[in-house]
Amino acid sequence: MQEYFETIKCDDYEIFNLDYHCKRIANTIALNINLSEYIYPPSNKLLKCKVIYDESGILDVQYDEYKKRQIKSFKIIYDDNISYSKKTVNRDELNKLFNQRQNSDEIIIIKNNIVTDTSIANIAILYEGTWITSKSYLLKGTTRSRYLNETQIIEKDITLEMLKKAEKIALMNAMIDFDEISDYSLSL
């Protein structure tokens, strides 16, 4: 049976954006699960809570202290066949692509000539004064969904040329929220 997971930010005993994580679980396995019944942060530190589940329900809840990775350089990776529409425990395809990053900190995956995601986050670019995230994403991220709902970003496919001309980029995931990066390098 396929196993999935949610990464949920916990800080000072607060649990962030549970509604979005519950919605994604419901969309993934067609079960409504109240995550607040399972998550009890063990300390007031910044924690990454990993909830592992399958179609039968919650299997495990793990907590790790979170330390943000410094990401300043990106390797452009092309893969027209990658699929990661559900947040599965099996990340082999993404890991294979990440291992091609050479000296870069992270990868940006291009599928069918459109910017999709990095190995750990959705991406947005500040392009001509507007924050844009690609319609052609790999994973429907919870932070991405929240920013779209709040109309802080718009959806429009991002080409490599647009990425190269971006004023800034931002990575979005549950742990880093909307992390703007203005000083970065891209390698092809």
CA 28, CA 102: separation in Å to the nearest integer? 33
Residues of the chain with pLDDT under 50: none
3-state secondary structure of 70: coil
pLDDT value at residue 112 = 98
| Residue 138, SS3 per DSSP | coil
- Domain range list for the chain: 4-65, 73-187
User: Exposure string (b/e) for 26-59, b if CB count within 10 Å is 16 or more?
Assistant: eebbeeebebeeebebeeeeebbbebebeeeebe
The domain 73-187 is classified under which CATH number: 3.40.50.300, 3.20.10.10, 3.40.50.1980, 3.20.20.70? 3.20.10.10
> How many distinct helices (H) and strands (E) make up the chain?
4, 13
Pairing of the two strands 122-127 and 130-133: antiparallel
**Quick one: pLDDT at residue 154?**
98
In this prediction, residue 132 carries a pLDDT of: 98
45/31 Cα distance (integer angstroms)? 30
pLDDT of amino acid 1? 87
